[in-house]
Structure 1
Amino acid sequence: MTRPVLAIDQGTSGTKALVICPERGVIGSGSAPVRPRYGASGLVEAEPAELLGSVLDAGREAVARAGEPVAAVGLANQGETVLAWEPATGRTLTPAVVWQDRRSENVCGELAENATELKRITGLPLDPYFAAPKMAWIRREWTREGVVTTSDSWLVHELTGAFVTDAATAGRTQLLGLHDVAWSPAALEIFGLSGERLPAVVDCAGPVGTTTAFGDEIPLTGLIVDQQAALLAQNALEPGNAKCTYGTGAFLLAQTGGRPSAGSSGLVSCVAWRLGGRTDYCLDGQVYTAASAVRWLTDLGVISGAADLDPVGASVPGTGGVTFVPALAGLAAPWWRGDVRGSVTGLGLDTRAGHLVRALCEGIAAQVVALADAVESELGSPLTALRVDGGLTRSSLLMQTQADLLQRPVEVSALPDATALGAGVVARLGLDPRLSPHLATPRCEPSMVYEPEIGPDEAAERLARFRAAVESLLERA
């Protein structure tokens, strides 16, 4: 019998770990929370020790519940979260600046004349979302000591002593050449990071070191950024396959094969993964606030949590004329306007909590439709369906709204922890190079398929209201 692997997804609000056996499926799981701090001027930070502690706690819990040793470990990470640390000791020098943090907007403003060149080199638009502006900001504002990297490099160093990052995560920095998949001297110079010591860029699958953090010494054989991990787990292995993950934000990715797309429709063109030296690419679109917008409604006392979306939303038949643009951390693709903030319009004395909930679901879904439209424009062909995963897919209201506005079936993954499963795929591939991604990727039918329940005319009318609200925000910002 093939020994299982430990797959860990270190996310924004928590870490999930699975022990996965090819024959028996998931045989153990664990989780641990992470509590980011939010503050003025777009501050979003996390304690590095909490990130590492959550990896150790979730991983050890999963192994203990499985009741048997694992053969290897794979790690998925947040992507654009960065920190400074001392490579000789692993001592952290700064908090972790989370991907949602907007404090590097001034850096981007100063470098605006380089935006076209940076997109040509890296495939990424100039925006505080990506790692390089945050890295430059840390160097300006906090410290010139140590190294400044994405969080995965520090976590891997603490687990194994290696100083590496995988090609997919490196592709989220805006420092990696899109075509040669190597650190770009030109991009480094633009950001004032030319003298930095950067981690080695490795394949997503392959041994990078060993760890005793989860029991006996085992190899770390898989590294990949979170959304690409979910794309892999969703078996999106052919050009045109697409998925959307609904977590803290919502992220739609579409595979484009061995050649990057131009990204001319406002989407990001980036590395999907590099396996066996071969690079596959994807188109990537982001909605910055999904579950984080639900948490915002929760903090206001409108609902008590995500589980309330369906019952509270069901208390009213529609939005009651309310339009919610949940740009609480700015508008991402395809607009790329981080300076824009959210709006709720159409409020009246008869507005109830259910109207706000439905308007939020419609606002999230409408942004995903904009991403899907951009993918179809880029690829020159329509998506036949959308594969979805993530915690918010538990909301029937949100998923039905998504199908209605998209006018396509929405297929909910039966694998609720797709990102962790993707980390398991690359761990398995790194352990056994003879495997193909098709053989290492789990196969399963969707747990639910939502078909559109409204016609195209009504969908177009509802989308037009949302787009008008967005245009009004863009004009005022």
Structure 2
Amino acid sequence: MTGPVLAVDQGTSGTKALVICPGRGVIGTGFAEVRPRHLSGGLVEVDPAELYDSVIDAGARALAEAGEPVVALGLANQGETVLAWNPATGRPLTGALVWQDRRADSVCAELRTHEAELRDLTGLPLDPYFAAPKMAWIRRHLTREGVVTTSDAWLVHRLTGAFVTDAATAGRTQLLDLDRVQWSGRALDLYGLAGERLPEVVDNARQVGATKAFGPEIPLTGLAVDQQAALLAQRITAPGGAKCTYGTGAFLLAHTGSEPRRGGSGLVSCVAWRLGGRTSYCLDGQVYTAASAVRWLTDLGVIEGAADLDAVGGAVPDSGGVTFVPALAGLAAPWWRGDLRGSLTGLGLDTGPGHLVRALCEGLAAQVVELVEAASAELDSPLDALRVDGGLTRSTLLMQTQADLLQRPVEVSALPDATALGVGTLARLGAEPGLDLADALPVWKPAAVYEPRVSAEKAAERRARFRSAVTALLEETPR
């Protein structure tokens, strides 16, 4: 059995690091905050140096707490955050455009006639959420110098000198041929990115280099995009299961096996992971604002933070007729209307903070239900339960609302840091190639299970009210 591994999850609002021992579990933790800048017009940026510094800071804290050496490093990333940088020096040439950034909408508008072709080729709809539109926008408006990549390639280069990206992260760009799992010349041509130097697409578990950034040299043996790492940690390694992570946004993934699914559900088809040259695929659905919507309510003074959701929302029996579509950064799957803004309807002089909190919880939960139903339709079978993780799963109100609207059990993971645990699994596999996947995965058990407490008719009524509000938004802002 190998020794401990360092698993680092570089996320949107912070970086979490764990030192994970095969026999003793998590023996060291570290966290470093990241503060993206939300600018007018849907722009979201972050200083690349802040991303790198957070990786080093969080990793160093976890190692110091563990107090023993590690045999490997795993790194998870945000997925669709991009920047241009100088490959000779590693110096950033632009800020990092965060996955929520909408400035590449103009690029997508120009490519609208090629939307079906791009979706068939890459599995992804045409939307500035993904990396390729942002990469093209940077090339048109900011710089032609250096390379333009997702943030993971830059972080790995800073750590090891290697120029790589993992298959799952590459699948989030809209530049990867989904069937062949290699860069698509056609997609590059359409985006005006032909001739770009792109990183090598590698398996998710293999040594790509080594780093001395934390002191003694550590091999980097695991790479993943954040949501796929969480899917792995939830032990969803075959078709039939799904998980939802409630972080800055909410992200539902359902495993589809060794073949990609390209249905009309509105969900994204992408690479789950590639291990030993064998690719697994998943369906992916996104809610752009989850914890970020809670932060919005906090900034307005309605609550003091996510810990207040239960107390404030629990002070009233229902939403008081208020309906909230929390499309504060647009609507993602299955509608793909990032240009839309949220709506808050049914307000009255009797509306209080508790009603707003309950309406937000219903709006988030209703969007996740739409994703689960779309995945069930795509897979031709209903999902028996939903496994969930992420910070917002601490809210009993949100989780009970989710179970009520879903009309299925919601199983809250006892693993609070699923993404880091997933990439830690990959690091262990990369460091010990003969290890079986099932043996490398963390033990999964629910910390809580929420069963529906309302009738199917009541749930349908609440979902219909939400759908009507979404329909009104779509009709007010036709594409």
- C-alpha contact 1:124 1:269 (8 A) present in aligned 2: yes
Alignment partner, residue 244 of structure 1:
244
Q: Secondary structure of 1:316's partner?
A: coil
**Structure 1 residue 112: Cα displacement:** 0.3
Q: How many residues align?
A: 477
Q: Deviations over 1:418-464 (max 9, x none)?
A: 00001101000000111122111111310000000001000000000
**Structure 1 residue 214: Cα displacement:** 1.6
Does 2:374 align with 1:365?
A: no
- C-alpha contact 1:69 1:215 (8 A) present in aligned 2: no
Q: Secondary structure of 2:30's partner?
A: strand
Q: Deviations over 1:233-254 (max 9, x none)?
A: 0000111211000000000000
Alignment partner, residue 464 of structure 2:
464
CA distance, structure 2, for counterparts of residue 445 and residue 241 of structure 1: 14
Question: How well do the aligned residues superpose, as a CA RMSD in angstroms?
Answer: 0.6
**Structure 1 residue 473: Cα displacement:** 0.3
CA distance, structure 2, for counterparts of residue 303 and residue 397 of structure 1: 14
Q: Deviations over 1:247-298 (max 9, x none)?
A: 0000000000100011321000000000000000000000000000000001
Alignment partner, residue 393 of structure 1:
393
**Structure 1 residue 41: Cα displacement:** 1.3
Q: Deviations over 1:117-146 (max 9, x none)?
A: 000110000000000000000001100000
Alignment partner, residue 71 of structure 1:
71
Alignment partner, residue 162 of structure 1:
162
CA distance, structure 1, for counterparts of residue 339 and residue 411 of structure 2: 33
- C-alpha contact 2:76 2:419 (8 A) present in aligned 1: yes
Runs of 5+ consecutive residues of structure 1 not aligned to the other structure: none
Please list, as runs of the form range in 1=range in 2, the aligned pairs for 1:93-104 lying within 5 A after superposition.
93-104=93-104
**Structure 1 residue 403: Cα displacement:** 0.2
Give me the TM-score of the superposition, normalised by structure 1. 1.00
- C-alpha contact 2:234 2:444 (8 A) present in aligned 1: no
Runs of 4+ in 1 over 3 A off after TM superposition: none
**Structure 1 residue 207: Cα displacement:** 0.2
Alignment partner, residue 288 of structure 1:
288
Of the structure 1 ranges 385-394 and 440-449, higher mean CA displacement relative to structure 2 is found in 440-449
Q: Secondary structure of 1:243's partner?
A: strand
Q: Secondary structure of 2:58's partner?
A: helix
Alignment partner, residue 441 of structure 1:
441
Runs of 5+ consecutive residues of structure 2 not aligned to the other structure: none
**Structure 1 residue 215: Cα displacement:** 2.2
CA distance, structure 2, for counterparts of residue 273 and residue 142 of structure 1: 32
Percent of aligned pairs sharing the same letter: 75
CA distance, structure 2, for counterparts of residue 203 and residue 439 of structure 1: 19
Please list, as runs of the form range in 1=range in 2, the aligned pairs for 1:64-463 lying within 5 A after superposition.
64-463=64-463
Give me the TM-score of the superposition, normalised by structure 2. 0.99
CA distance, structure 2, for counterparts of residue 302 and residue 226 of structure 1: 30
Q: Deviations over 1:190-214 (max 9, x none)?
A: 0000010000000000000000112
Q: Secondary structure of 1:41's partner?
A: coil
**Structure 1 residue 2: Cα displacement:** 3.2
Q: Secondary structure of 2:41's partner?
A: helix
CA distance, structure 1, for counterparts of residue 422 and residue 376 of structure 2: 25
CA distance, structure 1, for counterparts of residue 2 and residue 120 of structure 2: 44
- C-alpha contact 1:123 1:263 (8 A) present in aligned 2: no
Does 2:41 align with 1:41?
A: yes
Residue 303 of structure 1 aligns with an amino acid whose one-letter code is: I
